[in-house]
Structure 1
Amino acid sequence: MKHLNKLFVAVAMVMGLSSQAQDSNNPWAISFGTNAVDTRVSAASKVEDQFSQYFNVSDNWNILPSVSYISVSRHINKGFTFGVTGSVNRIKNWVEPRTTIPGDYTVINPGDLSYYAIDGKVQYSLGNLFGWKVLDPSAHVGGGYSSMGKASFGTANAGLGLTFWLSEMFGVELQSTYKYSFDQDSRIPEANVPSHMQHFAGLIFKFGGKDTDGDGIYDKDDACPDVAGLKQYKGCPDTDGDGIVDGSDSCPDVAGLAEFQGCPDADADGIADKDDACPDVAGPKALNGCPDADGDGLADKSDKCPQVKGPKENGGCPWPDTDGDGVLDKDDKCVDVKGTVANNGCPEISEEQVNKLNAYAKTILFNSGKSTFQQQTYPVLQSIAAILKEYPSSSFSIEGHTDSDGKDAANQKLSEERAAAVKNYLIENGIAASRLTSAGFGESKPIDSNKTKAGKANNRRVEVKLVK
């Protein structure tokens, strides 16, 4: 009993190893070793006698002390394999029943008969039923052709086996096969092939499995057969260890979250870093993950005034009102001068100022019959220019008039030339040409009588009118 317990423990430990029986991963197997032939089973008339001396190796078994069998098999499906075995032996122990003493047997040497056999079998792994991977009992059936000396005949075979898988592809096999011979008329050496037992003991090697990437997962089960991976991911790699295989990971080299297809979100703003314009600072999706401190809809990194609300058109800064007239610079046509909203931020010229302009204009003196100025007129022209500069958005018309002396055509021309001379002077002294027009009316619009010298002097004039 003590030795039996030790044997039980040893078998249990072997069954716990991580080897496995022949399967679809390595479908082919080759085995070889020695075999023994026992003719006693056909000599016994009772079934119990056929196996009563099963282990009587020295008297009953015929063993060739060398490699005497070779077998090739292939996994078919779900624990089933098909194999072919070739074996040789030499029959020196032929068991014969004693006719004179019932139940007794004698062993003779029939003359060192040569033994050859070729057998096919279908085998089922019983270990497959229980999920055993190391200790693999099996059962098989089949048929073959055996010869003993000059006699040969077909057999129907059945038997049991046991394989110890020492590694995934290497093991030790033991097998016993009962071969029922269809040549049972008599038991004459060289003339008959009696039914017999054949025992096998040898080594078995599995092969044929393909693992291209060498990750320990066979290609047929490997979802990524060309790149080494992990078993829990069916052979696919997870470089960054985030639980998402590289093939489904948009950021395979950086650990991330499943909701972002394996990409990280460092600032936890709900936008993957690869799509986040500001991956280290949380921000809204509308601004690609960048913050907007002042809430003006412009990301801080693009906002020239990130702490103060302002329109995008001005870089996120509020529009200034440089002259403080209530009209923003963007709409103010006179940015540096206070004006009115009605006049687009420019000052509006008063009637008083218009009268002042005309008071100056009446003192403009020309050389007689010409459009050139008398010297004392220049300060007057400068005063007019100064007033116009105060109202940069206002436009004016310069009008020239004459008295009635001389011909009408000459007076018309002279009035036009004198109005143009004033206009040109003002342009040359800083007044925009777009703000000025000039016209001559000759003697057609007198403001006094042309019969007196004083009246004529009043009619010879330049007027400055506001264009509205």
Structure 2
Amino acid sequence: MKHLNKLLVAVMMVMGLSSHAQDSNNPWAISFGVNAVDTRTSSGAGSGFFDQHFSQPFAVKDNWNILPSLSYIGVSRYVGSGFSVGLQGSVNKIDKYVTFNPNAAGHDSRGNVVTNPGDLMYYGIDATIKYSFQELIKSKVVDPSLSVGGGYTFFGDSSYGTVNPGAGVTFWFTDAIGLELASRYKWSVSGDRQDASGAPDAPSHFQHTAGLVFKFGGKDTDGDGIYDKDDACPDVAGLKQFNGCPDTDGDGIVDASDACPDVFGLAALNGCPDTDGDGIADKDDACPDVAGLAALKGCPDTDGDGVADKDDKCPTVAGPKENGGCPFLDADKDGVLDKDDDCPTVAGPASNRGCPEVTAEALEDLKVQARAVYFNSGKATFKTGDKETLARLDAIKQILINYPNAKFSVEGHTDSDGSDKLNQKLSEDRAAAVMNALIERGVNVDNLQSKGFGESQPVASNKTAAGKAQNRRTEIKHIGSKYQGKL
């Protein structure tokens, strides 16, 4: 067993060196199993080379030396185009050594004599270049191969180099696990020597191996079963049919090309859905639940006037866009179309945008009604319990709402009793009180303003009680329309 250390060194070399593999996905492979050594080829029996070497290739019981345990280990690496390189270490025990002596007792019909040379230990270290035909024959299971290489054999106390042509076949159970059967003829570069006693010295021989092979070393970063070198999306798990890229929504369109990767969609719309079936992707459809027109961003136009129903004030009657999709109408028959008529239900001239103009009669009526609005003495509150004042406010409101676009000023005045400052404040407050009362009754706040003039604009003498009574007044004046400038 003194040569056992040699095998251990060989195994360590095997585990540390690069060698052959089976494909580019898993470039590394390790194999191990049993080996058989057949020395019959060195006996010289037979009439020629092929007769000597191949006449009894499977005489297992008679000629093969088999160690009933794990007896070889190898490591290999794929280098491309079907080629791989490898290193193998093996151990055996020779108890069947075949010599040629037709005169000796116990020889077979061919003159071969099998002897036990004393349980010689056998060690081998072999390097190999192998070519696989698997890609050529396009098989995923059967993997035939040819090999050539060289090695060094320790045979008992002798050692010598060999040249090793060989052949083999591997049956793959999976992409990475297989059963490997191989044979190599190890031709002794020193010649088939024997010592003077006929004991083996440097015999050529066959070595057969049978074992398991495991491929490894392929990188699959995202764990999707597709190696990085073939994975178009190596950092995210995907599908084989998409070269390792994902299809999150399962619509058959890879996420990278899918405009809507999280929602099942149509190929014609770059993977986006079209709920209403109008040919416009939901993401671009302003009306995704109802079929419409591309020109209107997927919205329908029932009356065909070019205005989408959702924006059409008259969706069932055609009308121009500038009129909100409605036909041009003149409800009050004043010659001003409703679209341009600020008062579509009240007739008025075009010069006043279809609204009636304030008449002199209306202004006189406003004057009378406003002067009959009474306040508590010295205050901006309406006289308590004065039903006439409330009736006057209602009457004023009725006049004002007849002129929707007319602007009016509510003005407050006082007599000369009291200070100017007090009278100014009182007039402003009373004018505001009237304006607020009218707004509460429905008059448009944008049509009103209030001002106070204190005692500065008397309409009668403040020297008499009657004159003072006339000066304490509220007036409402027409100051134009909303098209004549801001108040």
The TM-score, its normalising length taken from structure 2, stands at 0.64
Q: Is contact 1:84-1:119 (8 Å) kept?
A: yes
- Partner Cα distance (1:78, 1:171) in 2: 20
> Counterparts in 2 of 1:170-185, with a 5 A limit?
170-184=177-191
Does structure 1 residue 307 correspond to structure 2 residue 316? yes
* 1:132/1:344 CA distance change after superposition, 3 Å: closer
**Aligned Cα RMSD in Å?**
3.9
- Which stretch of the first structure deviates more once superposed, 75-84 or 214-223? 214-223
1:58 aligns with 61
- What is the correspondence of 1:76-225 to structure 2 with a 5 Å cutoff? 76-98=79-101, 100=103, 103-184=110-191, 186-188=193-195, 192-225=201-234
Tell me the TM-score normalized by structure 1: 0.66
1:291 matched to 2:300: yes
Contact (CA 8 Å) 1:183, 1:192: kept in 2 or not? Answer: no
Q: Which residue of 2 aligns with 1:440?
A: none
In the TM superposition, residue 209 of structure 1 has moved relative to its aligned partner by: 2.2
CA distance in 2, matches of 1:217, 1:231: 7
> What percentage of aligned pairs have identical amino acids?
61
User: Which one has a bigger Cα radius of gyration?
Assistant: 1
Structure 1 residues 429 and 75: alpha-carbon distance in aligned structure 2, compared to 1, 3 A threshold: same
Residue 28 of structure 1, CA deviation: 1.4
Instruction: Give the 3-state SS of the residue equivalent to 1:168 in structure 2.
Output: coil
Q: Which deviates more, 339-348 or 50-59? A: 339-348
- Alignment partners' CA distance in 1, 2:215 and 2:404: 102
CA distance in 1, matches of 2:166, 2:342: 111
CA distance in 1 between counterparts of 2:143 and 2:234 reads 29
Tell me how many residue pairs correspond in the alignment: 358
Deviations 1:164-209 (A, max 9, x none): 2222222222111101111116322777311111111122112222
Identify which range, 185-194 or 126-135, moves more after superposition.
185-194
> Contact 1:325–1:339 at 8 Å: present in 2 too?
yes
For the 8 Å contact 2:170–2:179, the answer to whether it is kept is yes
Q: Which runs of 5+ in 1 are unaligned?
A: 1-20, 358-388, 395-416, 419-424, 436-468
Q: 4+ runs of 1 displaced by more than 6 Å?
A: 346-349, 389-394
Deviations 1:314-364 (A, max 9, x none): 543445534311112454577665455577657899xxx9xxx9xxxxxxx
Equivalents in 2 of 1:390, 1:64: separation in Å?
121
Give 1:302 shift: 2.4
Partner Cα separation in structure 2 for residue 331 and residue 56 of structure 1: 114
* Cα distance in 2, alignment partners of residues 332 and 148 from structure 1: 119
What is the aligned partner in structure 1 of residue 25 from structure 2? 25
- Contact conserved, 1:148 with 1:190, CA < 8 A, in 2? no
Contact 2:42 2:192 in 1 (8 A): no
Distance 2:314 2:210 in 1: 90
| Shift of residue 63, structure 1, vs aligned partner | 1.5
Q: Tell me which residue corresponds to 1:233.
A: 242
In the TM superposition, 1:418-429 aligns within 5 A as none
For 2:478, the equivalent position in structure 1 comes to: 432
C-alpha spacing 1:297/1:44, structure 2 compared with 1 (3 Å): same
Query: Structure 2 unaligned runs (5+)?
Result: 1-20, 365-400, 407-457, 460-470, 482-487
